[in-house]
Structure 1
Amino acid sequence: MSPPITATYRLQFNREFRFADARALVPYLRDLGISHLYASPICAARPGSSHGYDVVDPTVVSEELGGMEEFRRLVETARAAGLGLILDIVPNHMAADRHNGRWMETLCLGRRAPAADMFDIDWHRGRLVLPVLGGPPAEVLERGEIGFGRDGAGWIAARYFDHAFPLRPESVAALVEQAGGAPQAVEAWRSLEDEPIAEGLAEAQRALRAVDAAALDAVLAEAPAALIDAQHWRLAHWRAAERELTHRRFFNINDLVGVRVEDPAVFEIVHRLPLALVAEGSVDGLRVDHVDGLADPEAYCRRLREAMGPQALLVVEKILEGDETLRPWPVDGTTGYERLNDINGLYIDADGHRRLDGLLVRHALVLGSPKERLIAAKRQVVTESFGSELDRLAAMVAGPQPAEAWRHAALALVVHCPVYRSYATERGYGEDDEAVWRQTLADVAAHEEAPVQAAAEALIGRIRSGAVDLALRLQQLSGPAMAKGLEDTAFYRSLALASANEVGGDLEAPARSIETFHRRAAAAVGRRGLVPLATHDTKRGADTRARINLISLDSNGFLAAAARWSAMTQLLRQRTSEAVAPDALDEWLIWQTLVGVWPISGKRLAAYLTKAMREAKRHTSWEAPNWAYEDAACAFASALIEAPATAEFRADIAAFVAGLQPAARLASIAQTVLQLTAPGIPDIYRGTELWDLTLVDPDNRRPVDWEARQAAAATEPPLPRDDDTGASKLHVMRRLLTLRRGQPALFLEGDYRPLDARSGAGRWIAFERRAGEAALLVAVPTRTICEPPDRLALPGLPPAAWHSAFDDAPLDVDADGIAIERERPFLVALGKVRN
């Protein structure tokens, strides 16, 4: 019997953290109070993968992680300790990699390959374009960088550095024949041109092994480079993806190819392993990665739910924008980015955020309104990275206007879509979809020229009239456009308060009112969506955000400090050919980053800054690195941490951070209390039970010091203000997770009733949860840097014998309210009340 899912703990598997390592942690995680391990993808991925999302074979467990035998041992150990397991799966894409046998088969046999239907390839556009070359094909060939050779898996392939591209059967047959190979080998390969079947390919590969290796190698060494022109694929410069790409990718990553999971046969292959593990009881639920990348998310979720059964947990990674709600799919909820932002937003002061943003606007460090910035960022990324997708959309539309007009219309619709996507299919569309289109067209009308407006109206009109293929392709593009435009561009440019720029965040209104939090929390009662504070994809750790959030409460204090730090370090800046590095906006990001994660090494800071600058795409980018600017900015960052001349600066920023620490630590624990007591299933990212002063990946995927966490769990809990390690947070987490596991009905199904918390100092949020006679009372401070009050007024608090959830001590409750412990101002109480 599987335990109720009361809390998950995310484990990030790779060759440095394998199933055996997780098995050793089971006693610690059990004692922490979690109910389920939550595993990153476990199927075979590209060798050396640090995350598992670059899948090469979804049907087998990764041998790098320990293989099926070690996985079963982990399951057995977890079950014996009373823990369950949730799996992360990747139905949207696979690695376009030589270790992916199905991809290699498709390259070899072309559109008629048995595996070709696995991948979302537009064969109507000609040969499969592979944008992998570091320069124009003619130059690469002239430099002799492309050769031919045998691959250990049984292919004859073109080689380009670590890449291998199998030759088509006709080419292989000719080369084998030149090498004096056995007639049966020649015939086996040649017959595949007429009948490209999997069994025939396997036989041909076996026959190839019998060919004299030395003779074949000699022939391959002399094979003409022009041979690559006769293949099912075409090698191209990596920038060719802008206009020449013939397959759908994961976002704009050239070596992650889209999978056609809407095909029932493909669905079966992709889900064979996880569904078998669910059916046998080894796995209690699935987390679906990037559901918006699929052609038909609703149909996918229905098929998956039917295959899993009604009891298994099913959550989808779906980013909800603003007041958008999850569509009525048969899932338990999302991975919870909207909940993360609701909690984080309680600790952002709206006025302070506006003041900081206004300052950046006045100094022209950011341009336009937040909405205009998002539009500009989306337009840039779609134009630069998704040109092939726009061309494909334009080609799908027949009409009196030229293709370029339709291309501009598709660009406008994608750029102005207010959410990730709509969900029109062959089954039609609903009012929610219509609302998305109306808002999109309204924004197109407000920002685009009349011809673009007219063409955009016509495109939506065709979708309303049943142009299903057009709708699907447009919707599969609008999601990546939002992700890359907002999360990976605008969030690195609009830097009024870096902690507000989180996955699923809101550029215009990152702060959350207490009323909004209550409304959304109440709506989540009875649902089993996840509630994270950090994930493998968050931009900053929860405790990093907590520190930076405090800047919004005292913007003048931060502005004075930033001016002081800028003056102290003026001589460290360098002038490049185009700008002083770092410029004022990058400098602003550096100051906030240091506030969030101090102390930090120069290497860590420079690595983060490089990624942030490239994502911002202002001076440099991943596609066109500006080494001079990057080197100068990173030298500045490193000097801040390491140069003897900056000792005064380091002392100053250390003092500034020390002044924030008491409030930041209280805010961190308060957010943890909300995560663990509000409706939903709390999801703990590995290692974050201590202070989580991390930045975006790969910084937040560094190895975890498990010994330090186990040692902290064995200590007496320190006071938060005196706690440099985070042990105070760990002990709060352990107590509340243990309560959740012991009273699942109260935490998972209990009613949610907002309470009006009043104090003389600062703002508090409070609520009551109730299931039967069991009651939970929660009250924590939000936007405050004041000393906590002695008592908290809670009008309407039901009479009960309330006692602390942390030490079972009775609480002092009277008509004036309830007593608050100044050193630990987190009120979590249990009681028994009469309905």
Structure 2
Amino acid sequence: MTRERPAPLVPTATYRLQLQPAFPFAAAAAAVPYLASLGVSHLHLSPVLQAVPGSAHGYDVVDHARVRDELGGEEGLRALARTAHEHGLGLIADIVPNHMAMAPRHNRALWEVLREGPKSPYARWFDIDWEAQGGQLLVPVLGGPLGDVIGDLRVDGDVLRYHDHVFPLREGTEDLPLPQLLDAQWYRPVWWRLARTELNYRRFFSISELIGVRVEDPEVFDATHGLILKLLDEGVLDGLRVDHPDGLADPDAYLRRLHEASGGRWTVVEKILSDGEHLPPSWPVAGTTGYDALRHIDGLFADPAGADELLAAYRRFAAPQTDRGGDWAATARRAAYSVLTHELAAEVDRLTRVAHRACAGSSEPALRDRAPWALRTALQELLVRLRVYRPYTSVDASSVITEQAAEQAKQAFLVPEEGGAVDVVRDLLLGRYGDGPDQVELRARFAQTASALRAKSVEDTAFYRYVPLLSATEVGGEPGAPAVSPADFHAYCARVQRDWPATGTVVSTHDTKRSADVRAALAVLTECPERWAELLDTVTRADEGAPDAQLAWAAWQTVFGLGPADPERVREALLKHVREAGLYTSWTEQEPPYEEAVAAFVAAGPCGVPGERITAFREELAEHIRANVLGTALVQLTMPGVPDVYQGTEAEYRALVDPDNRRPVSFPPADPGDKGALTAAALRLRRKRPEVFGTSATYEPLTAEGPAADHCLAFARSGQAVTAVTRLSRRLAQSGGWRDTVLALPPGRWADAQDPAREFAGHTRVSELFERLPVALLERVAE
């Protein structure tokens, strides 16, 4: 008999822990009493399944049937669950359905595929194109062309070794001479640079070390989800975060299968919504992991006019050296073309082969006589013009692959008749030529390639090229329009409460390029763009060592956001910055002289004597930064949705891009400060009054009245809690402060959640409300 599952439980708030060998299950268990006292309802764990040894993140899974040994194994996880339950906490786990580590020595399923080839029972697990490369799976691990490194390859019994890499040998081939032995395998070790153009397996974005998994196959789904589902069924886990569903062949079908298999447990998906895009309404999930909330929260604290002035100042500062990075749309478009023709060239090749097969094998005359080069061009031009990550089977694809985009794509063809390939490809993608195997595969691979392109070209390239305001270059953000008006924010919250009331919300994660507190500081620059431009003129005159103006602007902003700088952290972040940007150096074509110039500039400039002026300017703006930090925190913790608090961010937390933001933190924080007290107050109120913030709650915008009304953002939850925060506080101070601005509170008497002796009612002077802090959380205490 099947044990009856408990009803799905919606968390009141989650707390994200980055598990790693330096912070295993036992360390998480030791933090449980503190985290329970903080007020969260669930711990949100990074991936817990067996990963590559030493992995600092766990997204490189090698065995879905084992809990990671380095974290304490399954018993360690169960012990953590028992400790959490004793303190009233549950566990949410991060799962990785899209990919596994391309590490045969650790990945048994992959090992068997390399040994037995396409006949292996595990061959269906991986998205491999066996028709390409002569039926051999390319393994891009060699340090140079085979002829240069063949002396480093050696046979050791029934395995092939290359430095730290170990591969199985096909039965009966171990005694062959090495060249013939290599030809006889189901795989072919090749120079790592061939991954760009020759690879014949789907990977995660352009990361060859992560191989795509075919969870659309029911048997593969069952094999890769069995342990997680068992832990859910036994009450060890209570919910799931799904990593990167956009990489899957059919996210709609996958999420339906997961929903059914998990008994409808609370599940959020790492779906990045582009500006104006909505989550597919048919998805059986609680919502997203919260990057859409991050974009709306951050936007509240950016001044639109100041952002435009900052952009103009950036163009004056950087334009003499580069025409790239001064226009967001153009920057993103150039990055997309570059990624398609370089990092994703192998993926485009495979997509083109599928499209050509769909055309050549069709009986439809309209599909005939389409050259591969024309189909490739059509595919590329349509991909570049997508404004979202990918189309879905449950959403009308014509709203994503638009007619307007198709007309623009035709301009890439010199001969108009050849531009007809665009219509052919679009019609195939819209399902107008049926649902044959080639058509279905084309739609799936186009969508998968689209999501990889968006991630690589926008998140990992354009965000590092377009740097007028670094806080706006965040996942899910819209750098070309960083500000969000209060009216738009309220509309967003009302929609979330109506459609996705249990969705996740975040402001800092293990993937954010800058923590919320760093971004909160940077947003203040939109309130004083002229001062920032003047300051940069001063510091750049004091130090002319910047290798390029674009990098200099980003470096000075990095130090401003971070505060008193650790040179090593800044140097590592900026080296990653220039490699991701790919303008003067990159991960695969590094230019040591340029990178050495970057490091020297960071040490002498932003982290040297000139940088002290940046630090002094930051101190001058400290009260305004504080207003943004506290405002960001309180809005996230009380708006519709389930807030996820990233480790250490209950106190002020300044971190740069990974791995800087994945360092272990201390529990409790040494100095929680005002942010820590505010966070605890909000979380405890949510735990005490879940109905006020939950799925049946209400959201009501509150409007201030008076000369500074636009600087007060306020809302009520279920008529029982009120959030009020200060926005654009420097502009507020310049205009004369709050003066007689008032906020009309809903009926009843209201107490400050942090200082209950402070009570308010009716039309309350905002200056009194914000007398102690630039934010206020109120709880209704009487009719």
The TM-score, its normalising length taken from structure 1, stands at 0.86
Q: Determine which of 756, 759, 764 is the counterpart of 1:808.
A: 756
Out of 325, 343, 347, the position equivalent to 1:385 is: 343
Aligned match of 1:565: 539
Alpha-carbon distance in structure 2 between the residues aligned to 1:250 and 1:430? 24
Given candidates 615, 622, 628, the residue that maps to 1:661 is: 622
Does residue 510 of the first structure (1) align with residue 510 of the second (2)? no
Distance in 1, matches of 2:27 and 2:307, equals: 43
Look up the match of 1:783.
728
Provide the rounded CA distance (Å) in 1 between the counterparts of 2:34 and 2:681: 14
Q: Match for residue 252 of structure 2?
A: 298
Distance 1:663 1:127, change over 3 A: same
Inter-CA distance 417–293: structure 2 relative to 1 (3 Å threshold): same
Paired residue secondary structure (1:330): coil
- The amino acid of 2:621's aligned partner reads L
Higher mean C-alpha displacement, 75-84 vs 628-637? 628-637
Match of 2:424 in 1: 458
> How many Å apart are 1:833 and its aligned residue?
7.8
Match for residue 197 of structure 1? Answer: none
Map of 1:6 onto structure 2: 12
**Cα pair distance change 1:474/1:641, threshold 3 Å:** closer
Pairwise CA distance, 1:791: 5.6
The one of 640, 651, 655 equivalent to 1:679 is 640
Q: Deviations over 1:554-610 (max 9, x none)?
A: 10000001111101112xx2xxxxxxx520100000110010002112111111111
Task: Provide closer, same or farther for how the CA distance between residues 537 and 360 of structure 1 changes in structure 2, counting only shifts above 3 A.
Answer: same
1:230 aligned partner, one-letter code: A
CA shift for structure 1 position 139:
1.6
Q: 1:436 to 1:336 in 2, by over 3 A?
A: farther
How far apart, CA to CA, are the structure 1 residues paired with 2:397 and 2:444? 16
Distance in 2, Cα, partners of 1:606 & 1:57? 35
1:823 and 2:772 correspond: yes
1:147 touches 1:225 (CA, 8 Å); kept in 2?
A: no
**AA at the equivalent of 1:776:** A
| C-alpha contact 1:802 1:829 (8 A) present in aligned 2 | yes
Alignment of 1:55-454 (within 5 A): 55-97=61-103, 98-125=105-132, 126-141=135-150, 144-150=151-157, 156-172=158-174, 174=175, 223-310=177-264, 312-328=265-281, 329-362=283-316, 363-364=318-319, 365-367=322-324, 369-396=327-354, 397=356, 398=360, 399-424=368-393, 430-431=395-396, 433-445=398-410, 450=416, 453-454=419-420
- Aligned to 2:588, what secondary structure does the other structure show? coil
CA drift at 1:768: 3.7
Distance of aligned partners of 1:823 and 1:442 in 2 relative to their CA distance in 1, 3 Å threshold:
farther
Q: Structure 2: which 5+ runs fail to align? A: 1-5, 361-367
Pairwise CA distance, 1:499: 0.6
CA distance in 2, matches of 1:497, 1:641: 17
Equivalent position amino acid for 1:48 in 2 = G
Q: Write the distance in 1 (CA, Å) between the matches of 2:480 and 2:80.
A: 45
Shift of the alpha carbon at 1:689? 1.4
CA contact (8 A) 1:605 1:638 kept: no
The structure whose Rg is larger is 1
Deviation at 1:146, TM superposition (A): 1.2
1 CA distance for matches of 2:52 and 2:519?
33
Amino acid at match of 1:627: P
Q: Which residue of 1 aligns with 2:665?
A: 704
1:807 to partner: Cα distance: 1.8
Distance 1:789 1:359, change over 3 A: closer
Q: Quote the Cα distance in structure 2 between the aligned partners of 1:87 and 1:117.
A: 26
Decide which moves more: 13-22 or 234-243: 234-243
1:531 pairs with 482, 496, 505, which one? 505
How far apart, in 2, do the equivalents of 1:800 and 1:451 lie?
71
Name the SS of the counterpart of 2:173 in structure 1.
helix
* CA drift at 1:529: 1.0
Partner of 2:621, secondary structure, is helix
1:478 maps to: 450
Shift of 1:631: 0.8
Letter in 1 for 2:553: W
* 8 Å contact from structure 1 (residues 44, 56) kept in 2: yes
1:369 CA drift (Å)? 3.3
| Equivalent position amino acid for 2:164 in 1 | D
Change in Cα spacing, 1:606 to 1:665, as seen in structure 2 (3 Å) is: same
Distance 1:746 1:805 in 2: 14
Which of 640, 644, 649 lines up with 2:605 in the alignment? 640
Report the Cα distance in structure 1 between the residues aligned to 2:440 and 2:127, rounded to whole angstroms.
Answer: 16
Residue 784 of structure 1 deviates from its aligned partner by 2.3
Is the alpha carbon distance of 1:586 and 1:705 closer, same or farther for their aligned partners in structure 2, counting shifts above 3 Å?
same
User: Residues 390-414 of structure 1, C-alpha deviation per residue, up to 9 Å, x if partnerless?
Assistant: 1111111233122111111111111
d(CA) in 1 for partners of 2:215, 2:589: 33
Secondary structure at the counterpart of residue 63 of structure 2:
strand
Closer/same/farther in 2, CA of residues 730 and 790 from structure 1, 3 Å limit: farther
Gap regions ≥5 residues in structure 1: 151-155, 176-222, 574-580, 713-725
**Which residue of 1 is the match for residue 687 of structure 2?**
741
Distance 2:244 2:293 in 1: 17
Displacement of 1:770 in angstroms is: 4.3
1:233 shift after superposition: 0.7
1:792 Cα shift?
A: 4.1
| Pairing 1:596–2:542 present | no
Provide the rounded CA distance (Å) in 2 between the counterparts of 1:689 and 1:815: 31
Give the corresponding residue for 1:519: 491
Match of 1:489 among 452, 461, 465: 461
Conserved? CA contact 2:391–2:400, under 8 Å: no
The separation in 2 between residues aligned to 1:807 and 1:308, in whole angstroms, is: 43
Residue 524 of structure 1 deviates from its aligned partner by: 1.2
Preserved contact between residue 332 and residue 529 of structure 1 (Cα < 8 Å): yes
Please report how far the alpha carbon of residue 431 of structure 1 lies from its aligned counterpart in structure 2 after TM superposition: 2.9
What is the percent sequence identity of the aligned residues?
A: 41
1:182 aligns to what?
A: none
Counterpart-to-counterpart distance in 2, 1:157 and 1:456:
48
Matched, 1:31 2:54: no
CA contact (8 A) 1:409 1:452 kept: no
In 1, distance between residues paired with 2:313 and 2:323?
9
Cα offset for 1:813? 3.4
Distance 1:326 1:814, change over 3 A: closer
Q: How does 1:744-759 map to 2 (within 5 A)?
A: 744-748=690-694, 749-759=696-706
Does structure 2 retain, via aligned residues, the 8 Å contact 1:602–1:639? no
The aligned counterpart of 2:3 is none
1:811 and 1:624 map into 2 onto residues whose CA distance is: 62
Residue 452 to residue 500, structure 1, CA distance change in 2 (3 Å): farther
Q: Does structure 1 conserve the Cα–Cα contact (< 8 Å) formed by 2:280 and 2:395?
A: no
Q: CA deviation at 1:341?
A: 0.8
Aligned partners of 2:327 and 2:628: how far apart in 1?
A: 30
Q: Does 1:42 align with 2:54?
A: no
User: Secondary structure in 1 aligned to 2:172?
Assistant: helix
1:764 corresponds in structure 2 to 711
2:363 aligns with none
The AA in structure 2 aligned to 1:592 is Q
